[in-house]
Structure 1
Amino acid sequence: MGVNDKIFTEGKIGKTLLKFAIPAMISLLVVELYNMVDTIYVGRYIGSNAIGALTIAFPVQRFMTSIGMLISVGTSTFVAKNLGEKNYNGIKKTIINSIIMTLLSLGILSLIIYVFHQPIITKLGASENLYPFAEDYISIILIGTVFQGLTIVMGYIMTSLGDTRINLYANSLGAIANVFINHLFVAMLAYGVKGAAIATIISQFIAFLFISYKFYKIKNTLKLDITASGLNKEFSRSLIKDIFTIGFSTFVIEISDAVVSVVLNNLLLSTAGDNAIIMIGVITKVSMFMFVTIIGVSSSMQPIVSYNYGAENKERMLKTLKVSIRWVTIFSLAIWSVLMLFTPSIIGFFLKEAELLKETITAFRICISILPVVGIYYIGIYYYQAIEESGKSFLLSVYRQIIIFIPLAIILINSFGAMGAWIAYPLSDLISAITSIFFMKRTITPKVKEPQRVLKPKLS
């Protein structure tokens, strides 16, 4: 059939959550390895300046991924909710409009960025040394953004319909392809950062072909018409607006990393030079492993809560929330321990220069020193998305990176140089965790107690 809603209603919450979370975390881990392959290869075969160039390119990549995640999370929330309500026409309409959003938004944005890439790269903080590498990389990776976006969206849709492993398979296939193609173009053919970019877009297309083949079952089950006439027939501005509204807080979470990267690149370039940009690039890549567990559990909680929100099962909603907080803490502590213990070996994959390696190890340990405490912060964001409280989800999503981290970083970097940037990370993590605990205690429990007030609007 391609649709399995029993998984949302049967069995223990902990077991159900793990069925979603473990494949999600493995999939996210594969994605991080996928994204890290380019950095490892250019660092080893080209040099640290190439890593700096990929750091400059990171905000562009993150921005395009953010658009895909916005559409994916908004879509999956409505798909899961409609599934709980047994509204299959609603599922069909949601999927069609998500495809329209993906094609139009990513296609147009890719073209705009390509046309204006020169001033964009300069504003991202590229020095004269880093600019040529960044230009080569960015101008090529834009080709694959639509395929990557469609892969993300289709994966989230299929997960919301009960296929918990599809993202794992698609991402694993893409990651394996990326390693081999990078080795061919960067290590063997010496194509430089252009080779790394080519490897990325080819592997993205391979993952897209795989998930499209699997998505065909969903297409047949729901009788989806994804031709031009079918897309036009099901087009709904109001639904697109709703998808955008629900997914916007996820967009903010994702784009916040890009905004932080741009701010840090420009601040560090003026105070500490290219080496600091190279360091922040490596730190950003490796610290993403922490978010494998945090986002893995949080995003896996979302379709379960959304389904039971649609089915008006308030008890299962609350249990899912509590179990999610417990698991996100356990998993993130485990990954944090590994990263802290093996920091020299992990950072050593990227950097060859001894002094730069030593400084980066110290900076990395400072940056992630209390990162596990932010798990509950992300649980809150995804929970509010699941119950269509987009306003609260948005407020939480901008808090840590935009409201707290950036002002702290500006003050501390101007006072202490590069060290100020590293200190800003744990301070913002601590403040965000304390605030989110207080916020959730005051707002989540009342919402769960009486979901009927919003679950059944009056029909006119």
Structure 2
Amino acid sequence: MDKKNKLEFMDVKKLIIKMSFPAIISMIVQALYNIIDSIFVARISEKALTALSLAFPIQLTLISIFVGLGVGLNSYISRKLGERNRDVAINTAEHGFFIGILLWLLFAFSSAFVPEMFFKLFTQDQEVIFYAVQYTKIIMIFSFGSIIAEVCMNILRATGDMISSMKIQLLGAITNIILDPILIFGFLFIPELGVKGAAIATALGQIISMFYALILVLGNQKFKLNIKKFHYSKLITIEILKVGIPVTFMQFLGSIMLSGINLILALFSGTAIAVFGVYYKLQSFIFMPVFGLTQGLMPILGFNYGAKKQERVMDTLKYGSIYAGIIMLLGTAIFQIFPRQLLILFNSSSEMERLGVGCLRIISSGFLFAGIVTVLSTYFQALGSAPVSLIVSLARQIIILLPVAYILSLFWGITGVWIAFPIAEITSFIIGLFFTVKVIKKSDKYYETDLLYA
């Protein structure tokens, strides 16, 4: 089989595994280093762990923007390659670097005033605020490593090269894991830096992965970029942003959701915020493999949509949903059976354990629905209809979750907050199915006109 045509001709079941496996491995390692980061910080103090929980919404906001840009690039590049329009695909990739640099300049500037203003909304504890501001400023100032690496990885993914993308993520994650204990607690001539050390380890991991990513992308002879010949195109920018902005907002909803839940939990205790922060790091270990799966699905869906191979698009959606369901069922079993063991990893106090066991068991009951919804969202994004994904995510994380969490907290306390999560997952699953059926019924017309509305 001609390797360059695998997106078009390889058996879909095998192709999904081939395309997704490298991304799944790298995302698991990514989740692992996020967890290890918090495990080490928890050894400093519970306040330091609370600070990282409060800082995570800002960190997630940055990630949301990076991912939105990356998905916009991936979607448009893969569609243009499917249409055999290589020149536009290459110019689109070059636009990714241009937009990425502009975004980094914005983040670096805003790091001077945004963090402290944000954290004072949640707590007046000066120690927690100090740790959170210290960590966040470093992440924002050195975010160029993460955003350029994300651009490079999505260029490679759009061309079907998932192995290189995996190597980039593994390099950054492993570097972070190695540097975390060294910089946090000190080693030999390196002083103990505490929370600042955790931030520096993260930034260095991202910068090292960025350099490696640039070597791979700029040295790729099959998809040859020439930055010197870059010419700006308003049309290409619009096409990137048309998918990227809704995806960014969809990801950004996670930051709003985290902030909203933290505000509700702050009414009870700082320990409740720490527990939710621990849960969110742990659940990433389950969700990250599904995100890796969708990274493999994106170019398959986009390429075959561009090539107008409807049957392969639908097979990819079907088997992608099955694989996501299997991953989520395994994750649910882990959270149901081993909640205490998971919490002990974070040096949990008796109060953290008391709140955390219920948190992990109740929220994980909605994992299966969340996994399938994630695949459905990727389906819409790949076909250039990201606003549909935004609608589903808006319902899932904001419109349903936050009001229900607040209302139930008035009746059942913190337990009511946890119950709101599976309610939101099931509801968004139903909404996602509605839009999926709507798109499938109109698919013949979409493939004839090359337009997709939902």
**TM-score normalised to structure 2 length:** 0.93
Within a 5 Å distance, the mapping from 1:19-38 to structure 2 comes to 19-38=18-37
CA contact (8 A) 2:144 2:207 kept: no
Letter in 1 for 2:163: R
Who is 1:14 aligned against? Answer: 13
Among candidates 248, 259, 263, match of residue 260 of structure 2: 263
State how far apart, in whole Å, the 2-side matches of 1:203 and 1:213 are.
16
**TM-score normalised to structure 1 length:** 0.92
State how far apart, in whole Å, the 2-side matches of 1:225 and 1:406 are.
47
Within a 5 Å distance, the mapping from 1:359-398 to structure 2 comes to 359-398=355-394
Among candidates 84, 89, 92, match of residue 91 of structure 1: 89
State how far apart, in whole Å, the 2-side matches of 1:295 and 1:26 are.
11
Who is 2:132 aligned against? Answer: 134
Number of aligned positions between the proteins: 447
Letter in 2 for 1:376: I
Identity of aligned residues (%): 27
CA contact (8 A) 1:368 1:426 kept: yes
Alpha-carbon shift at residue 380 of structure 1 (Å): 1.8
Who is 2:324 aligned against? Answer: 328
Alpha-carbon shift at residue 300 of structure 1 (Å): 2.1
Among candidates 143, 146, 163, match of residue 145 of structure 1: 143
Residue 342 in 1 paired to residue 348 in 2?
Answer: no
Deviation per CA, 1:162-192, whole angstroms, max 9, x where unpaired? 1112222112111221122111111233311
Who is 2:400 aligned against? Answer: 404
CA contact (8 A) 1:67 1:106 kept: no
Q: Which runs of 5+ in 1 are unaligned?
A: none
Letter in 1 for 2:255: A
Alpha-carbon shift at residue 336 of structure 1 (Å): 2.3
Among candidates 425, 440, 448, match of residue 453 of structure 1: 448
State how far apart, in whole Å, the 1-side matches of 2:263 and 2:321 are.
36
Among candidates 255, 278, 290, match of residue 282 of structure 1: 278
State how far apart, in whole Å, the 2-side matches of 1:391 and 1:262 are.
23
Within a 5 Å distance, the mapping from 1:293-304 to structure 2 comes to 293-304=289-300
Letter in 1 for 2:173: A
CA contact (8 A) 2:271 2:351 kept: no
State how far apart, in whole Å, the 2-side matches of 1:334 and 1:112 are.
40
CA contact (8 A) 2:12 2:315 kept: yes
Within a 5 Å distance, the mapping from 1:68-107 to structure 2 comes to 68-107=66-105
Deviation per CA, 1:282-308, whole angstroms, max 9, x where unpaired? 011111222123323233222111101
Who is 2:227 aligned against? Answer: 226
CA RMSD of the aligned region, Å? 2.0
State how far apart, in whole Å, the 1-side matches of 2:130 and 2:387 are.
41
Who is 1:193 aligned against? Answer: 195
Q: Which runs of 5+ in 2 are unaligned?
A: none
CA contact (8 A) 1:293 1:332 kept: no
Within a 5 Å distance, the mapping from 1:164-183 to structure 2 comes to 164-183=162-181
2:118 counterpart SS class: helix
* Bigger Cα displacement from structure 2, 294-303 vs 54-63: 294-303
Deviation per CA, 1:305-349, whole angstroms, max 9, x where unpaired? 110111111111111111112111112212322232222222211
CA contact (8 A) 1:317 1:448 kept: no
* Bigger Cα displacement from structure 2, 136-145 vs 146-155: 136-145
Residue 291 in 1 paired to residue 290 in 2?
Answer: no
Among candidates 97, 118, 121, match of residue 120 of structure 1: 118
State how far apart, in whole Å, the 1-side matches of 2:180 and 2:247 are.
30
- Give the direction of change, closer, same or farther, for the CA distance of 1:456–1:249 in structure 2 (3 Å limit): closer
CA contact (8 A) 1:113 1:120 kept: no
